[in-house]
Structure 1
Amino acid sequence: MMASVADHLKTAPQLSLRFIAVWLRNLRVWRKLMLPSLLGNFGEPVLYLLALGYGLGQFVGEVESMPYMVFLASGIVCSAAMTGATFEALYSAYTRLTQQQTWAAMLAAPMNVDDVVLGEIAWAATKALINASAIVLVASVLGLVAGPEALLVLPVILLAGFSFAGIAMIVTAISPSYDFFLYYFTLVMTPMLLLSGVFFPLSGLPDAVGIGAQFLPLAHVVMLVRPLMTGTAVDAPVLHLAVILGYAVGSYWISAALARRRLIR
């Protein structure tokens, strides 16, 4: 008799280093398409940064005692990480799961579902780091980064990538088709992008909305990344890291359980 989702959720994922083989496999494939992939994932956030930063920035002026362009740059870094991890864990992972049957081939090797899911999430987090690093580099060239402490953004982004990828992997594990992803974009990703302080400070939101935004992982990523990039003090860094880590661990646990329920008959 097939185990229920609740049964799988009660079982902790079996962690092993076998997930690295999945990560390496995806890296080798990506290297063949590296240039168009970088252009696609790198071009849009840079366009947002330049268009909104220079265009809207002239009307907005300063936000939180800094030029709007500086304020926006750190938000775009975070949104690029979320977008990169999400698209990889949704479309690319789902294609490997259903269309190409790559997951089935991997499971024929001495590897379990938990290894495959963690490998996919780790690779999606790597894509988030690649995308965000490119934006940090552009921001540095434009003089929008305060100092070398901005390098601390990179490990934060990698951890955040695990969170965003894990959440997206939950959707992949239950999705019957590509069209199902639209629910996630409309109901989760777009509200999170607009209500996490990427484009404007949370202090400008109504109190109830601002409190709700504190439960969004992207908001905590922004609260860590923005001070690191602008050279200001980070408020409650342990809390922000704990929330991001909690989302990363929890989403992996749930996505692994759902994937086991889908693949193990």
Structure 2
Amino acid sequence: MARHYSLSFPRPSRLWWPVWRRNALVWKKLAWTSVLGNLADPLIYMLGLGYGLGALLPAVDGVPYIIFLAAGTVCASTMNTATFEALYSAFSRMHVQKTWEAILNTPARLDDVLFGELLWAATKSLLSGSAILLVLLALGLIGSPLALWVLPVIVLTGLVFAALGLIVNALAPSYDFFMYYFTLLVTPMLLLSGVFFPTSQLPPALQAVAGGLPLAHAVALARPLLQGQWPADSGTHLLALLATGTAAFWIATVLTRRRLLR
């Protein structure tokens, strides 16, 4: 293994595919448990807040609260699934199980490993988000073909949060370190990004902060699509997610090279 690292942009080869496939084969043994676990929290939000609290609330942005909440639930679940995979699962493979070290003794390079991990986390988030969309469809909360465009939004959101998670993974000395990320970033983002209530209800300073959060951009794309409308400023939201994901993956790659190849 080379004992140096560079600041160059990641350039994965086709050898990312065996990394992705290896993770998929391991996950396949626990697939149903994993899917049910990813569905539990969103369903609690939808049933508890959507139907319970929603029955006490007036329309939000002109729609019943449960419909307003649906898009936020899809995006939040996508964020959580990608984040958990890029943190706990990736850290186990990198640090505890030494799976990455074994892979790096093959022709695969670290860029291939990280890209495979990135796409695998996005794949899991797509499976989780798609399952929630099916539940929303069964509940009669989706009535427009435009909702199919939420699937690319889920993939892009999964890529962004997987890349952000890999940054934290590269810095973490142990599993406990991840709690700082959840407490300081993930939880505030969940509350400020329009998942549970419109960001217009926030003070102006917090609205400005919320406008730059990746989860807020994802919700701004998904919510109109689930309501049968094309999102306003869709190009701006897409560009923000693409820029965040690209920059985050480059930083994650550089930090992981520094950790493993120095």
Whole-angstrom distance in 1 between the partners of 2:19 and 2:63: 43
Inter-CA distance 236–81: structure 2 relative to 1 (3 Å threshold)? same
Residue 167, structure 1, aligned to residue 168, structure 2 = no
Instruction: Pick the aligned partner of 2:6 from 5, 8, 23.
Output: 8
**Contact preservation (8 Å) 1:8, 1:258:** no
Residue 179, structure 1, aligned to residue 176, structure 2 = yes
Residue 239, structure 1, aligned to residue 236, structure 2 = yes
Instruction: Pick the aligned partner of 2:41 from 30, 41, 44.
Output: 44
Whole-angstrom distance in 1 between the partners of 2:83 and 2:154: 13
Deviations 1:186-233 (A, max 9, x none): 000000000000000011111110011111000000000000001123
Deviations 1:72-99 (A, max 9, x none): 0111000000000000000000000011
Instruction: Pick the aligned partner of 1:188 from 160, 185, 204.
Output: 185
Inter-CA distance 103–2: structure 2 relative to 1 (3 Å threshold)? closer
Q: Which amino acid aligns with 1:134?
A: A
Whole-angstrom distance in 1 between the partners of 2:121 and 2:153: 15
Q: Which amino acid aligns with 2:110?
A: V
Whole-angstrom distance in 2 between the partners of 1:116 and 1:256: 10
**Contact preservation (8 Å) 2:73, 2:195:** yes
Whole-angstrom distance in 2 between the partners of 1:12 and 1:154: 27
Q: Flag structure 1 segments of 5+ consecutive residues without an equivalent.
A: none
Which residue is equivalent to 1:96? 93
Which residue is equivalent to 2:122? 125
Instruction: Give the Å deviation of 1:8.
Output: 3.0
Whole-angstrom distance in 1 between the partners of 2:244 and 2:180: 20
Instruction: Pick the aligned partner of 1:154 from 148, 151, 155.
Output: 151
Aligned-residue identity in percent: 51
- Report which stretch shifted further, 43-52 or 66-75: 43-52
**Contact preservation (8 Å) 1:160, 1:221:** yes
**Contact preservation (8 Å) 2:146, 2:229:** no
Whole-angstrom distance in 2 between the partners of 1:35 and 1:233: 34
Which residue is equivalent to 1:209? 206
**Contact preservation (8 Å) 1:198, 1:222:** yes
RMSD (CA atoms): 1.3
